[in-house]
Structure 1
Amino acid sequence: MTYSSTIEEVNSTRRKFKISVPAASIKVAFSEVASEIQKTAEIRGFRKGKAPQALIRKFYLGDIVKKAADKVINNAYSDAAKTVDFQIVSYPHIEPENQFEENNDFAFSATVDINPKIEMKDYNDISIKMNEKLNIDVENELEKLLSSYARVLGKTEKDESGRAVAQGDVANVSYTVTHEGQLLNEKEAKGQLIELNGSNLPAIEEAILGLKPNESKVFAVTYPENYQEADLKGKTVEFNLVLNAVETIVSAPLDEEFAKRLGHKTIDEASTSIRETIKKSNEEARTNVAFGQVVDHVLAKNEFDVAESLIESTIDRAIAEANANTPKGSQLKNDDEAVREKYREWANKQVRGILALGHIARQEGIIVSDEEMLRDMASYAMANRMDPRELIKRAGAQVYDEFRGQVMIRKVIAKILETAKIEYTSEK
């Protein structure tokens, strides 16, 4: 299509395309649309699709004008938008400048919001505070995790020495439980194995520690108000317990069978997979901690405008998410300006932060490949018990963009952390 265009700067985040299309191109659009309608048109006296175009233009003139105008505007604007060096972030607001007619030139304007290119500064050598637990030795963590899995997949052996049960042992116990003198039959246990590793109620572990085989003990246990078993919440009960035997855990050997039980063919394959999981988990945790600090620093050092439409759409999403978990009668009204104003400051910072990281990605040459995006989608799907193939298959362009954006943010934060001054503290 032949057209001419100019671009007017409305403000720092808005541009207006002024586009003119000659009559010859308008005439072609009319003809193409009329031919398309002709293929399916049903006019009395003619077989379907066989009516002459002159009649088509007579009976379907309104449709032809509308579809031809849409065709001309969409094609001309799309072509013009491909030639610019800025990112368009909104749908165009179209304003015709004259009547759309077959034998006349046609002019229109298309106003869009943009994300102008900005050179970010002072994002290196940022001071970041992190909990010391995020400063991990991957190989050490791998060794601890493999050891933990080996214990879980191992077996217990009875200790015949007659010694007292100690921390780290498995106590083979039998007990009855009473509440206010009433026996709780459903709580009785025989030959129950309790690993003394600090994961049980302290009162129970403390009572068992130090007992020798066949020794018994009567002790009280008060259950917390948030205990998972509703019938025991907040209650104080009495245990009459006997230690049947002391057992020790024999860890499973780190061999091929161990690897298979973890879903891998070899121990090397299992180690590689677990190592990558540790790395990714740590990187994500570090990114989450650093994100807010990085954004605060970058925004304090860089002033720039953002398109109002981006802020408004961010507010729309925030209200929609809030309403998703709210009963209908209590939902927020999207068009309530007081409600929108409560979200505005947050939305402004959210948009500016994401755009700032995007500018840094451009300056640093950081890109996200399709493979990285799809891998992130697959990880998300598995974490949420979804079929990765179904998620990828059904996702549209917007979902792809969201995952690509998430990966981009992590890569930018990782890049910034390479030169950041990180202070590890014991604070959470």
Structure 2
Amino acid sequence: MTFSSTIEEVNSTRRKFKISVPASSIKDAFQAVATEIQKTAEIRGFRKGKAPATLIRKFYMGDIVKKAADRVINEAYSSASKTVDFQIVSHPHIEPVNQFDESQDFEFSATVDINPKIEIKDYQQIIIKMNKNLEIDVEAEVEKLLNNYARALGKTEKDESGRVIVKGDVANVSYTVTHDGKLLEGKEAKNQLIELNGSNLAAIEDAIVGMKALETKEFPVDLPENFADADLKGKTVQFSLVLNSVETLVPSAFDEEFAKRLGYPGMDEVRNNLRETIKRSNEEARSNVAFEQVVEQVLTTNEFEVAESLIESTIDRAIADANSRLAKDAQIKPENEEARTKYRDWANKQVRGILALGHIARQEGVSVTDDEMLRDMASYAMANQMDPQQLVKRAGAQVYDEFRGQVMIRKVISKILETAKVEYTAENTDTK
């Protein structure tokens, strides 16, 4: 199909395609659509698909005009939009200039929002404050995790020496719990193994340390305010505990059986997976900490406008996300102007920040391969005990773009961190 087009700059974030299609192409579209309809048309007195073209036009002209117009507009706009040097970020708003008729040229406009190509400056020497614990030794972290798994999958052996139990041992205990002299049903335990490694309530571990096998002890325990049982939060209960035996933990050996219990054929696969998981987790944590700081500093030194449609769609997503956490009678209506106004500044900054990182990616030649995107998706799925295909079924094909975008942001942040001045602190960095 032949056509001619020009592009008008409406403003910095909007362009209008002005497209003219000659009558000859319009006539071809009419004929093609009429022929397609003729193949399946059923008109009394004629076999299916055998009615003459004149009758097809008589009975189906409305359908012919609509389908031919859609075809001409879609094909012409699609071809015209492929030759531009800017990124289109919205669906086109189509406006016919004249009537669609096969006897004359057809003109229409297609207005779109765009992401204008700009050069981001002054991002190479950004100052980032980051918690010291995000500066990690990956191999050391791998060994730490392996040791944790080895202890979790290990076994215990009774110590028959008669010695007292110490930190690092495993206590086999039975106990009952009372409050105000009343036995708490469901809080008792028999032959429970408690590893004295600091992960339990300090009062319980401290009471057990120094006991010998078969010794009994009664002691109070102050339960924390965040205790799981709401009725006992912040209260003091009384434990009556017997140490059945002192046991030592024998960690599992790093062998093929250990690997298979973790779901892998061998230790190389275990280490490789842990390495990738740790790297991804650390990269994601560093990216999360740096993101707001990078965006804040980049946007301070780089002024540019963004398409209104991107801001509006970001507000829509924010409201939908808020509604997912609200009761039905507290839902926010998408058209609620007060709510949309509340989210507008945040959405504007969010869109500008993401687009700024996209421009930096272009300037630095940062891209994301399909393999990188799929590996990130698989790592996320494994961490959440899901099959990657479940993600696709649940979120649709757009999940690929979402993961590609997440990887892109992390890669850009990592690139910026290469030249940024990173100040490590002992305290948590506020990332809100």
Asked if these proteins are the same fold (TM beyond 0.5), I'd say yes
Structure 2 residue aligned with 1:86: 86
Structure 1 residue aligned with 2:212: 212
- Give the TM-score of the pair, scaled to structure 1: 0.95
**CA deviations over 1:337-356 (Å, ceiling 9, x no partner):** 22111010000000000100
TM-superposed deviation, 1:46: 0.9
Q: Secondary structure at the match of 1:424?
A: strand
TM-superposed deviation, 1:105: 0.6
Relative to structure 1, the CA distance from residue 374 to residue 393 in structure 2 (aligned partners, 3 Å threshold; closer, same or farther) is farther
Structure 2 residue aligned with 1:97: 97
Structure 1 residue aligned with 2:114: 114
Q: Secondary structure at the match of 2:193?
A: strand
How far apart, in 1, do the equivalents of 2:380 and 2:266 lie? 26
Q: Secondary structure at the match of 1:200?
A: coil
How far apart, in 2, do the equivalents of 1:207 and 1:423 lie? 42
Structure 2 residue aligned with 1:51: 51
Amino acid at match of 1:340: R
1:150 aligns with 2:150: yes
TM-superposed deviation, 1:393: 6.4
Relative to structure 1, the CA distance from residue 400 to residue 277 in structure 2 (aligned partners, 3 Å threshold; closer, same or farther) is closer
Q: Secondary structure at the match of 2:220?
A: strand
Matches within 5 A, 1:11-410: 11-184=11-184, 186-229=186-229, 232-392=232-392, 396-410=396-410
Relative to structure 1, the CA distance from residue 184 to residue 94 in structure 2 (aligned partners, 3 Å threshold; closer, same or farther) is closer
TM-superposed deviation, 1:402: 1.9
Q: Secondary structure at the match of 1:60?
A: helix
TM-superposed deviation, 1:283: 0.9
Q: Secondary structure at the match of 2:128?
A: strand
Q: Secondary structure at the match of 1:247?
A: strand
Is 2:392–2:399's contact at 8 Å kept on the other side of the alignment?
Answer: no
How far apart, in 2, do the equivalents of 1:10 and 1:124 lie? 33
Relative to structure 1, the CA distance from residue 335 to residue 175 in structure 2 (aligned partners, 3 Å threshold; closer, same or farther) is closer
Amino acid at match of 1:194: I
How far apart, in 2, do the equivalents of 1:40 and 1:340 lie? 49
Amino acid at match of 1:73: I
How far apart, in 2, do the equivalents of 1:355 and 1:231 lie? 50
Amino acid at match of 1:54: T
Moved more, 356-365 or 396-405: 396-405
TM-superposed deviation, 1:123: 1.1
Unaligned runs of 5+ in 2: none
Give identity over the alignment, percent. Answer: 75
TM-superposed deviation, 1:136: 0.8
How far apart, in 1, do the equivalents of 2:335 and 2:50 lie? 50
Q: Secondary structure at the match of 1:283?
A: helix
How far apart, in 1, do the equivalents of 2:386 and 2:365 lie? 33
Amino acid at match of 1:328: K
TM-superposed deviation, 1:26: 0.4
TM-superposed deviation, 1:384: 3.9
How far apart, in 1, do the equivalents of 2:156 and 2:108 lie? 81
Q: Secondary structure at the match of 2:71?
A: helix
RMSD across aligned positions (CA)? 1.8
How far apart, in 2, do the equivalents of 1:418 and 1:269 lie? 30
Q: Secondary structure at the match of 2:288?
A: helix
Is 1:213–1:244's contact at 8 Å kept on the other side of the alignment?
Answer: yes
TM-superposed deviation, 1:97: 1.1
TM-superposed deviation, 1:177: 2.8
How far apart, in 1, do the equivalents of 2:162 and 2:45 lie? 106
TM-superposed deviation, 1:180: 2.8
Is 1:374–1:392's contact at 8 Å kept on the other side of the alignment?
Answer: no
**CA deviations over 1:8-43 (Å, ceiling 9, x no partner):** 111111111111110000000000011111111111
TM-superposed deviation, 1:394: 7.3
How far apart, in 2, do the equivalents of 1:285 and 1:112 lie? 36
TM-superposed deviation, 1:272: 1.9
Amino acid at match of 2:417: L
How far apart, in 2, do the equivalents of 1:75 and 1:104 lie? 18
Is 1:128–1:422's contact at 8 Å kept on the other side of the alignment?
Answer: yes
How far apart, in 2, do the equivalents of 1:327 and 1:378 lie? 33
Moved more, 156-165 or 413-422: 156-165
Structure 2 residue aligned with 1:4: 4
How far apart, in 2, do the equivalents of 1:112 and 1:125 lie? 35
How far apart, in 2, do the equivalents of 1:393 and 1:227 lie? 37
TM-superposed deviation, 1:193: 1.8
How far apart, in 1, do the equivalents of 2:414 and 2:154 lie? 38
TM-superposed deviation, 1:242: 2.4
Amino acid at match of 1:154: G
Moved more, 113-122 or 397-406: 397-406
Amino acid at match of 2:261: R
**CA deviations over 1:277-300 (Å, ceiling 9, x no partner):** 111111111111111111111111
TM-superposed deviation, 1:336: 2.2
Amino acid at match of 1:332: I
Is 1:377–1:392's contact at 8 Å kept on the other side of the alignment?
Answer: no
How far apart, in 2, do the equivalents of 1:188 and 1:95 lie? 75
How far apart, in 2, do the equivalents of 1:209 and 1:192 lie? 16
How far apart, in 1, do the equivalents of 2:270 and 2:230 lie? 39
TM-superposed deviation, 1:396: 4.6
How far apart, in 2, do the equivalents of 1:329 and 1:178 lie? 42
Relative to structure 1, the CA distance from residue 130 to residue 357 in structure 2 (aligned partners, 3 Å threshold; closer, same or farther) is same
TM-superposed deviation, 1:225: 4.1
Moved more, 366-375 or 116-125: 366-375
Q: Secondary structure at the match of 1:254?
A: coil
Moved more, 151-160 or 360-369: 151-160
How far apart, in 2, do the equivalents of 1:257 and 1:25 lie? 71
